[in-house]
Amino acid sequence: MKASFKKYILHFKRPSGTSRGVMTQKETWFLIFNDKGKIGIGECGLLKGLSFDDVPEYEQKLQWVCDNIHFGKEELLNQLVHFPSIQFGVEQAFLSLQSDTSFELFPSAFTDMNEPISINGLIWMGDENFMLSQVEKKLEGGFNCIKMKIGAIAFETELNILKSIRARFSADEIELRVDANGAFSPDEAMEKLEQLSAYDLHSIEQPIKANNWDAMAKLCEESPLPIALDEELIGIYDVTEKRRLLHTISPQYIILKPSLVGGIQGSEEWIHLAEEQGIGWWVTSALESNIGLNAIAQWTFTLDTTMPQGLGTGGLFTNNFKSPLEVKNGKLYHHSTKDWDSNVIEHLCT
């Protein structure tokens, strides 16, 4: 078997804002395995400034994987604990090798019978008019779960946007989630959570920055809103430490981004530990191309969860790969009658 890797820059259709800044492009990497002409592809979805493995030696580690492909999947994963996005790429590439089509990694009713996955509609940060226009488009698109990024514009403006949604739709009609990306300070967080709770929100993701376990635990205990941990999970790969984090903070939910928490294997470990403690969870993509999103979606479907997942990011980029994935009426479909762009493999292998 031979292996290689390739860098690919995804370009946003419109600059996308979070409390950490505005993104215009997203760097991603692909592992390409070639076993006697059979191609396996895996995406290593690095997020600059957030990924645990955003380090100068990232390309060197990709080359190491290619040089040591003979180790096999399990040994490679064991050696890559500090590189969760590469772990996920390795998992995908080996699954892809086993697939008849390179892209059907988890055959199911999702891939074969057009059975969809419920997803949330994502509202990016911007001025009030832009955010409200996004809300309108999501509602027109049939979404009954909306996730809004908050923390970068005036808090009162964000409250007004939530108020305008709730004036039209009850919590039974539209589920609202907000994601602060750690934007609140520990001193102000509780007051803001109390103000947000007036709008019957489902949950808030990461209200304060990660690695402040005591403050987060206090918030989770006293908050009028359910709290979901997101960035808090990044960089924790030891099972004992994972269990300690969940026990110490005791959140209502955790959010799993396979590219950031050790791929499928690492995510399933988090799920098992969370369920032991009665903690809910859902899965979210991390701005991967349709190749990585396809893998996440197929795996997520096998988890048999009905909660809306965060898998609606495939339409963000101008140069994404054409795929069978489609968002319609607030759900993600994999159309078995639609094909991948015939040039995908050729493009990545040259």
Catalytically annotated residues: 149, 257
Six-digit token pair at 3? 């292996």
Looking at this protein, which amino acid is placed at residue 281? W
What are the tokens at 6? 């390739």
Angle ∠(241,246,247) on CA atoms, nearest 5: 95
CB count within 10 Å of CB 270 equals 23
Judged on CB neighbours under 10 Å (0-12, 13-18, 19+), 48 is exposed
Contacts of 330 (CB under 8 A, 6+ apart): 118, 119, 121, 141, 142, 143, 144, 145, 308
